[in-house]
Structure formats: C-alpha cells, structure tokens
Structure 1
Amino acid sequence: MNSTISNSLDLGNQKIYPKGKIFYQLPVPTLIEHAILNQEGVLTDCGALAADTGKFTGRSPKDRYIIYDDKTRDTIWWGDINQALEPKYYERLSAKMRDYITHINLYVRDGYVCAEKKHRLTLRVITESAYQNIFAHHLFMRPSLEEKLSSIDWTILAIPSFEADPAIDGVKNKNFVIINFTERVVLIGGTGYTGEIKKSIFSILNYLLPIEKGILSMHCSANVGNEGGDTALFFGLSGTGKTTLSADEKRMLVGDDEHGWSDELIFNFEGGCYAKCVGLTEEKEPQIFNAIRFGTLLENVCMSGVSCTPDYQNISKTENTRAAYPVHFIKGAIEPGIAGHPKNIFFLTADAFGVLPPISKLNIAQAMYHFISGYTAKVAGTEAGIVEPTATFSACFGKAFLPLHPAKYATILGEKLEKHQVQTWLVNTGWIGGAYGVGKRIPLVYTRNLIQSALNGELDTVDYQNHLVFGLAYPKSCPNVPSDILSPRDSWKDKDAYFTQANKLAEAFAANFKQYEEKLSAKIIEAAPKVRVVSF
C-alpha cells in the first residue's frame, strides 16, 4: 500500500511542494519491495534486506555542523567536535535541498524518541531511499496504528544524492550533517550511511535533556534481571562489547545504545538496535544472530560467493557492517524500554596494551575520571596507518555526540552515583598477558562471568588489591574465572616490561585529561593514574 500525506511537507518553518510521490508510513514489507525495485539492496536467504550505503560506510564526524546563532552561541561546546556554521549557509543549503527534492520521490516516517512519555520528542524523517526509511522505522519509536502524532518537534531530511558545493556552501566537503536547534531541522546530504540519522538525534537529546531537564543522556546499553530491580548500564566505544554484553539471555534488554537517566528511572531513547555484525556467529552472540530475519536491515554485509547468504567474516567493504532491527526482535526485550535506577554500571574498554585488570571496582571520583576519559585502544589493521596499539579517548564514551562540555555530563553522573549508591566497574575486554601481538584477548566467557559475579554480588565478599599505577581495586578471585588472569601484572612474564607499558598508558591518560581539568574538581583530577618507578 502506498500512502501519501499531502502535496506538501514541513521543513522547519518552510514548506516543500514535491512533484514526485510521497510514500508515508509504509509498512516494512512494502519498503523492502521498494528497496529491491529501486536496486537499493537484495533479500538474503535469512530474510533480511542487505543494502549498501554507498561511498560512506560510517559516520563522517568532521563534516558535522551546528548552526551558530542566538540559541547556541553561549551553550555549545564549540571546537573540532561541534563545528559552527553561520545561518546564511544553512539557509542557502536548505533552499537548494528543498528545490532538489521537489523532483524526486520521498519516503516519510513519523515517530518519536524517549520511551518515557513526558520526555518524548516527535520526529519526521524524510528520506530519499526506502532502506533509510526502514532504518528510521526500526531505530526510532513507532506510533501505534491508532496513534497519530499531533505535532512534529524535529524534522530530519536525509538525501544521499544531494551534495553541497564547498566553494560556496560554507562546508568542507560535498557530504554534510547540519543541526539547526532554532529551526529544529537536521539536513543530511551526500551520504547514505544511516548512522548519521540516528546519531544526529542523539546529539540533539544530549543538548536538550541535560540543559532543560537535568537528565543524564548516555551512550550506553542497558539490561535488567528477569526478576527486575537490578538494572545495569554498559558504556563503551565501538568494539568493546557494549551491544554483545548487554544482549544476555539471562537478562532482559532495555536498549543497546542510548538512554536517559532521570530523577525517576532509566529510559531508552530508541525503538531498535544497530548491532555490529563483524565476526557474528550464532554461538557467540545468539540473540543478535537470531534477530537477523525478515524485516532486519543489513548494511554493507558481503554475501558468501554467488549466494544470498550473509558472510559476517568478510569485511572487504568495511569492518563497520551493521544490522538494524526493532528491539522486540531480541527475545525478552522490554517495551517500552523503561527500568529502575541502576545498581551497577560497567565501563568497557578494549585495552590493547594489556595493562588494565579484567575488572576493577571504582569509587565515585574514579568513575567520573574514567567516564570523562572514555578510554579504549585501536589495534593494528583497524585503521590505515595504525601499526601498533594506539590509545583512544572519547569523553563520556561518546565525545562525537556531545554538544555540551563533558564536565556537564560527568557532574550529573557523579550526583546520581552518590544519590542512588550505584557501583561502577571498569571492565577490560581487551588483552591480558601482554600487549596486542604478544598477549591474548580475554575470552568472552570470562568477561561474562566477571560481569555476572558483579551483578549477583559475588564480588562484594572477595579480597581486593590495588593497582600500583592506576590505583584500581581489582578482585583476587572470582567464581568461574581463573585467578591467574585477574591480576594483569601477574599474567605478564616480564614484570618490568609490564610496568613500562602501564606508565606509558598512564602518561597517555594524563595528556588527554589536561583539556578538561579547568572545569573539574581536584578530587576527580586526583583519581588519575600515577607514573611509578617499579622494578623486579
């Protein structure tokens, strides 16, 4: 069924009068038909639609802009993350895009974000491609068939075939993402990567919720025990296990990526999941594997030979292969995505230096320090030019999406940790026994057992020891985990080499943290690792 809304569309305070067709709120099976007919993708033998996003297979953060005007001038954390764009350039690009789309067919999807109704933000997503509209259907929350949104708070216009002219449009490249807080419009052009749609809305929530409502917006996954009452949050950058570890068959998924923490509860921003597929197997990640079925959108996943069987080991297109599906495709997921205050928070890091313990207990000052640091490591082969482990820091585990200074988010976090007596853990899902290339990556089963022991209170009664450089308290024993891997120092054969590596990482932490210190208390700064002279 092809639905239409009218011969006009609202784009902020502007009207668009398309001459092409407007396909409104099409059901997913119909969108899949459109995508195949439009040659946007193919149907795989598991039923999922596999689409290519074109030249861009990931976000382009250096091509994201925020309009610099009276609303944002004194509130945005301006810099390389939040690049300012003058209103005149927005007006020019907006006019050019409005004219451009009058000549093409459009797919329109109305939905909303924030599972907690009193914080709901309504959206209209206008896309050029059917697969983009499937993504919007899955990732944002869906009105019921009987529900009609009375008004639209924000409009997103995503047109991959429209490109900017850097010579006159005020942007660096032909592709762009522009957020206008005054007009409440997002313009996305020159890229078909759907993650730009999702993360632009996350950036908007990261601005509005802390400023207007004192809500902590978080780049984290969340789950809760089957009996309820023991919510857990998982923070982590790409490749650290955030989605994998929160998709636990013994617990109910609240959401896999973005949440808010209000005075009353935790709530999911989204209505779906956007899981990485690289190396996916049913054995390792059964919930995600089984969520890939008819209706699921696969992005940039290669097929096996001439068949239509997804090959999750093949990353010749990109390592950033993805699956987008509604959250109810995960067995036992909670809808709406609402849960109580967390009892445990896990900061996940893939430490390729082999320095950090597999799990450590943090006090509040340490939690705020590591939250602002947002550390993980990249290893050889993940990006061009990386030939050895490289420390990577992303404030609040999502620096690219923070319109406000990280101190704002960390302050709210610290207040909530203290008020609700939440235990925070730092979990190393990376290397033990040596750095990348020498040691080995900690087996996923051990990480799961460590987290399970933290959740059920078994780590509350064991003995701890303190890391000499990082000051972290880590357990000497844990059920179902070999004791010889709990101490990173003891898992290395060369103890002197271990402390050389630990000091090197401590120096990287200190260098990164200097940019934030002027807005932070001495107590948080004191939680930093200390370079030590240790020999054996």
Structure 2
Amino acid sequence: MSAINQMSDLNQLLAQEHVLHHLSVPQLVEKILSKKEGSLTDRGAVLATTGTYTGRSPKDKFIVKDHESESTVNWGSTNQSIDDSTFVRLYHKVLDYLKERDELFVFKGYAGADKKNRLPIQVINEFAWHNLFAHQMFIRPTEQELSQHEAEFTVISAPTFKADPKVDGTNSEAFIIISFKHRIVLIGGTEYAGEIKKSIFSVMNYLLPKQNSMPMHCSANVGKEGDVALFFGLSGTGKTTLSADPERRLIGDDEHAWSHNGVANIEGGCYAKCISLSAEKEPQIFNAIQFGSVLENVVVDEETRVPDYDNTSLTENTRAAYPLHHIDNTVQPSIAGHPNAIVFLTADATGVLPPISKLTKEQAMYHFLSGYTSKLAGTERGVTSPQATFSACFGSPFLPLAPSVYAEMLGEKIDQFDTSVYLVNTGWTGGAYGEGERMKLSHTRSMVHAALEDELNSVETYTDPVFGLQIPLHCPGVPDDVLLPRKTWSNPEAYDKKAQELAEKFHENFKKFTHASSAIKNAGPASGRN
C-alpha cells in the first residue's frame, strides 16, 4: 500500500459527495462560470485572476525533512526545510478546511510521457479553474488507464486557506510544501496556478535521477529528419517561443526527461508567457488559446472580451495554459530520440553576451552549472525590473538534489551522443537594459535555425577575449554586425566595462562549485580567474 493511501483522512475526503472526480473540460468550464471563478474571452478561453500572488513565491516553498530526505536533499535557501510533525498538523488543518467547502475537484493523470518512467498523480483543487489548469497541463489518461490509475503522488491545493506563520511554521499565509515520505504536495494561500505545475516538476527532479533519467527544465522539438533539439532557460528567456517552430514538431515547452530511451515530455500541456503576444509574431501560441485554455491575469475588453496582451496592469507575468493538442505541429505521444543539439537561452540584460556562440563540452558544463540569465519582471513576486541571476541547471528553484547530480548526467549524455551545445542570448543588444534594445525575435529564430541545421559549423568564428566564446562571423538572415555585441554598442569602452563586470559575477557565482574540475572552471570567462 502506498504512503498516501495509508493517510485515511485523505481517502475519507475523496469519498465525500461534494468531491467531483475527473470532470471533462466542458463540465469544468461550466463550473468555473457558475461559481464565478472566471469568465470567457472572445475565443472561449477561461480568464482568471490570481489576486496578490501573480507569480511563484519561492520563499514560501518547503520540503519536509525526514529520514528519507534528510541525506538526499540539497538543503539551503532554495530547499527550505520543515519538520514532519509541522507538516502533518498543517495537512490535517487543510483537509478539515476542505471538507467544509461546497465542492472539490479531482484530476488523475500522469507526469511523464515515457510510460516506463511516468508518475501517476492526482490533483485535488478547491477551485474548478485550477482543476482545469491541471487537466490541461498534465498528461491525461485514457479511459482504460483511468480505471487502473493509482496515484503515487497527490497535490492538494487550497488557495483560500491562509496559514498562520506563528502557528503553522510557514513564512507567510502562503505555503507550498513537498513531503516525499507521504507523497503529498500541500499548497495554500496562493491562487497562482503555476505552483501546482512547478511542485510536480520539483518532485520529478527528485525521483527521476534514481531511475537514471535526467529531468530538465527545457523545451524540445524535433525536425523532419528526426533530429531533436533541447532549449534550456528560465522563464521569459524564450523556451516556449523558440520551440514552437512551424518547421519542427513540438515535443513540449518546459519540462522533459532524458533517459536511455530518448527525450520525453513530463507534461501534457504548455504554460506560456503571453505578454505582448500577437498572431503575427507567435501564431502557434496565439491560436492555441481557445476553448479549454486558461488565461491568467490577462486584461480583456469588457465588451468584446478580446484579450489585450500588451496590458500589464495586473502583472507582466501573464500566462496561458493549454493542452499540447492545441498546437497543430506536435509529436504524439510526446517522446522522441536523443538530442542532436542543445541550446542554452539567456536573457542577458547587460547586453554583452553574443547572440549566439558554440560551446565546448567544458564550456557547456560551466554555463549549465552557472545558469545565468536576467530574472525578468513578474516571474516572481517583487521583481519589477531585470535582475542578474544565476540559477544552476537553468532551474535551481526546482532542484531538490545538488546541481552536480544533474550536471554530471548532462556531461555524460553530451559525450555519449556527441550533442552540440550553443549559448543564445535573447536579451539585450546595443547596450544594457534601458539603453539598448531587446534582441529581434526574427534574428534569434534565424540563428537557432542555422545552428540546428548545422549551417554554422563551417563558418569563420571569433573568440571573445573575455568570455572565451566562439562567435560565428556570419549567419543566414542576420546582419554580421549584430553577431559581435561590442560592435553594436555606441560606446565600446562602456561595453568593455560592462563585460568585465559580468565576468566577475560569473566567477563569484562559480566559487560555490568547489568540486568542479579544473577543465570546467577554466571554461568560464578569462577575466578574473584565480
């Protein structure tokens, strides 16, 4: 018997009449409208707002420290600990609270498209729109699979339950707590649906390495010849946009696993940022937002119900959740072979990193461990302008284990499958944020296309003197002067100063990776090395 089935209070809750199991999309939409949780846009998508919490709340996330997790989790400011007895008390308080709600909604499905490595999950929601979100984000079972489904992990989401930090051991009214012992994720105090998605990703980042499968915060697509590409990067760097390529089939936009079988999507849907979304720039994402999709914190015209994707009055972190089948050009089931190319995406707000460069294996390991980007406004509470940040493996908030575990797996796979790795800057050019401009999406698409089609291998390159990166001097569809960032600045001396500053930040951040080999350490920026 699994750990969650031993918790009889949960089974009693699920057996009550007010708990509605596995409603269809139309049924959930009807519930959302009748309960006034949201409204419809002109194209039939559900529109919901999340109140105070319009992004993840990392300071409110905990992992239960117990005999199973104590020696395996990489404890610290990212993986905050909470003791088991505190968790159990809060868990029972939440269950008692949910027993008094008018209705609850349960979704059963899977995390992981590869049936050999997938995790059966169930999501229990106070809000119908959260359950629709879960239905669209995770992998939906067939009727036969549903009849045989036994959840091995449960998410319980009670957004209107507010914790008392002094009594409940939390940092605020909100909490996201993972217990690997009880196989439960407990969420309360926040209406931001992304916490449901990312908590399961954190769970998979803990479980998959035990199965010799590498969990990855990346998007993935496959070309006509079966060539697979991975796109790593934090929220807002362009994973969803660049992987939704009409010339390639989408495997998934955010979370994948790389096992001996190849690459498999962890999810069954997409959770795209939709700030400044347009049919002209991103037609696949724009057209995917239809009946059954969920829009978060998007402002619409009161009369026409047409979304205004340029309106950021609620947050810059506006989101759209939709199932993969809303994208025409997808792989079903969402699995493919081993990657031919890996692209590390960074939205560099300093404007000094080149728009594209090819990495050696050692440079790939350095930049994977560094995970540099500029944290964009709205992706977390309190972030209102770009901030330089280093997030190990391009997904530090979701890594329960030490970054070296994931980095070593990546290094082994690069060697095994001779995978090419590129660093692509989707951030600023011609100056830092506030002076320069955002890299043109058309240029980025051309560079990525050239990389994936092996069009850059024979091109003459320039070695950046500070970062040591091999920059191609020519790329189809991109002006030559765009490729060398120093040439795009009106003041080259200002570029040099900013480049040195960023190099120092890389070195300072990498000091924590004390066990990295000399080869990897020396693959970083040349300036400031010890």
TM-score w.r.t. length of structure 1: 0.94
Distance 1:480 1:323 in 2: 30
Distance 1:437 1:152 in 2: 49
Once the two structures are superposed, what CA deviation does each residue of 1:13-59 show, in whole Å capped at 9, x if it has no partner? 23343455111111001100100111100011111010112321111
- The answer (yes or no) to whether the contact 2:65–2:81 under 8 Å persists in 1 is yes
**Other-structure match for 1:217:** 215
**Other-structure match for 2:515:** 519
SS in 1 for 2:456: helix
Letter in 1 for 2:132: I
- The answer (yes or no) to whether the contact 1:11–1:185 under 8 Å persists in 2 is no
- The answer (yes or no) to whether the contact 1:20–1:106 under 8 Å persists in 2 is no
- The answer (yes or no) to whether the contact 2:56–2:380 under 8 Å persists in 1 is no
The 1:15/1:297 distance shift into structure 2, 3 A limit, reads same
**Other-structure match for 2:168:** 169
Letter in 2 for 1:394: S
SS in 2 for 1:278: coil
Letter in 2 for 1:181: F
Once the two structures are superposed, what CA deviation does each residue of 1:138-164 show, in whole Å capped at 9, x if it has no partner? 011011123323421011110111122
1:61-80 residue pairs with structure 2 within 5 A?
Answer: 61-80=58-77
The 1:383/1:140 distance shift into structure 2, 3 A limit, reads closer
For structure 1, the 5+ residue unaligned runs are 1-9
1:350 and 2:344 are equivalent in the alignment:
no
SS in 2 for 1:519: coil
1:108 and 2:106 are equivalent in the alignment:
yes
**Other-structure match for 2:401:** 404
Letter in 2 for 1:324: A
Match of 2:507 among 499, 510, 516: 510
- Compute the displacement of 1:474 (Å): 0.7
Once the two structures are superposed, what CA deviation does each residue of 1:200-255 show, in whole Å capped at 9, x if it has no partner? 11001101111x11211100000001x24210000111221111000011110000
- The answer (yes or no) to whether the contact 1:353–1:389 under 8 Å persists in 2 is no
Letter in 2 for 1:161: T
- The answer (yes or no) to whether the contact 1:66–1:85 under 8 Å persists in 2 is yes
**Other-structure match for 1:81:** 78
CA RMSD of superposed structures (Å): 1.9
**Other-structure match for 1:271:** 268
Letter in 1 for 2:192: Y
Distance 2:232 2:410 in 1: 13
- The aligned length equals 522
- The answer (yes or no) to whether the contact 1:356–1:428 under 8 Å persists in 2 is yes
Distance 2:237 2:497 in 1: 24
SS in 1 for 2:501: helix
Distance 1:44 1:324 in 2: 14
**Other-structure match for 1:13:** 7
Distance 1:369 1:77 in 2: 20
1:130 and 2:128 are equivalent in the alignment:
yes
- The answer (yes or no) to whether the contact 2:317–2:378 under 8 Å persists in 1 is no
- The answer (yes or no) to whether the contact 2:293–2:321 under 8 Å persists in 1 is yes
Match of 2:284 among 287, 293, 305: 287
Once the two structures are superposed, what CA deviation does each residue of 1:53-96 show, in whole Å capped at 9, x if it has no partner? 23211111110111101000110000000011011101110111
Letter in 1 for 2:58: P
Letter in 1 for 2:262: L
- The answer (yes or no) to whether the contact 1:362–1:472 under 8 Å persists in 2 is yes
Once the two structures are superposed, what CA deviation does each residue of 1:239-287 show, in whole Å capped at 9, x if it has no partner? 2111100001111000000000012200000000001111100000000
Of residues 143-152 and 346-355 in structure 1, the stretch that sits farther from structure 2 once superposed is 143-152
For structure 2, the 5+ residue unaligned runs are none
Match of 1:328 among 310, 325, 345: 325
SS in 1 for 2:9: strand
Letter in 1 for 2:166: A
Letter in 2 for 1:231: V
- Compute the displacement of 1:184 (Å): 0.4
SS in 1 for 2:367: helix
Task: Flag as ranges the 4+ runs of structure 1 deviating above 4 A.
Answer: 378-389
Of residues 363-372 and 524-533 in structure 1, the stretch that sits farther from structure 2 once superposed is 524-533
Distance 1:56 1:410 in 2: 32
Distance 2:175 2:349 in 1: 33
Distance 1:389 1:107 in 2: 37
Distance 1:180 1:436 in 2: 40
- Compute the displacement of 1:387 (Å): 8.9
Distance 1:413 1:380 in 2: 29
1:152-301 residue pairs with structure 2 within 5 A?
Answer: 152-210=151-209, 212-225=210-223, 227-301=224-298
Of residues 106-115 and 139-148 in structure 1, the stretch that sits farther from structure 2 once superposed is 139-148
- Compute the displacement of 1:392 (Å): 1.4
**Other-structure match for 1:3:** none
SS in 1 for 2:504: helix
Match of 2:524 among 510, 520, 528: 528
Once the two structures are superposed, what CA deviation does each residue of 1:314-367 show, in whole Å capped at 9, x if it has no partner? 111111111111101011111111011111100111112111111000001100
Identity fraction in percent:
53
The 1:12/1:291 distance shift into structure 2, 3 A limit, reads farther
The 1:415/1:44 distance shift into structure 2, 3 A limit, reads same
Once the two structures are superposed, what CA deviation does each residue of 1:446-498 show, in whole Å capped at 9, x if it has no partner? 11001111111110111111000000001011111111111112222322221
Distance 1:84 1:385 in 2: 23
**Other-structure match for 2:419:** 422
SS in 2 for 1:392: strand
